[in-house]
Amino acid sequence: DGGITQSPKYLFRKEGQNVTLSCEQNLNHDAMYWYRQDPGQGLRLIYYSQIVNDFQKGDIAEGYSVSREKKESFPLTVTSAQKNPTAFYLCASSIRTSGGEQFFGPGTRLTVL
């Protein structure tokens, strides 16, 4: 079955820790995205990548980092510089590098202890 997987489903972080959220897709999509969603709010773009070894900052990139070493994988690291990381994190992909319909993974819920 083709799709997008995210792990873990739930993640707890202590103050000052870096944590990495996994996103993998087997759809052969070129572009991948990371969004943050706060309770009762819409989506905000953190980072996106249109091709391997290249990525761009979105609207709220501060305190986050990404890599795109393989087409299938786009991990997101939430660094200690992100002061309020508690949120629902969604990974998405699209077939085209130039936009198009985005398909979403199941999400990771991150809570800071």
Q: Which residues bind other proteins (CB under 8 A)?
A: 31, 40-43, 45, 48, 50, 58, 90, 92, 96-107
- By beta-carbon proximity to other proteins, the closer residue of 85 and 105 is 105
**Is the CB of 50 or the CB of 73 nearer to other proteins?**
50
Read off the tokens for 8: 């873990």
Q: What is the closest distance, in whole angstroms, from the C-beta atom of residue 18 to other proteins in the complex?
A: 24
DSSP 15: T
- Measured from the CB atom, the residue of 28 and 41 that comes closer to other proteins is 41
Contact 100, 93 (CB under 8 A): no
Shortest distance, position 99 Cβ to other proteins, whole Å: 4
User: Secondary structure of 37-101 in the HEC alphabet?
Assistant: ECCCCCEEEEEEEEECCEEEECCCCCCEEECCCECCECCEEECCCCCCCCEEEEEEEECCCCCCC
Q: How far is the CB of 9 from other proteins (least distance, A)?
A: 11
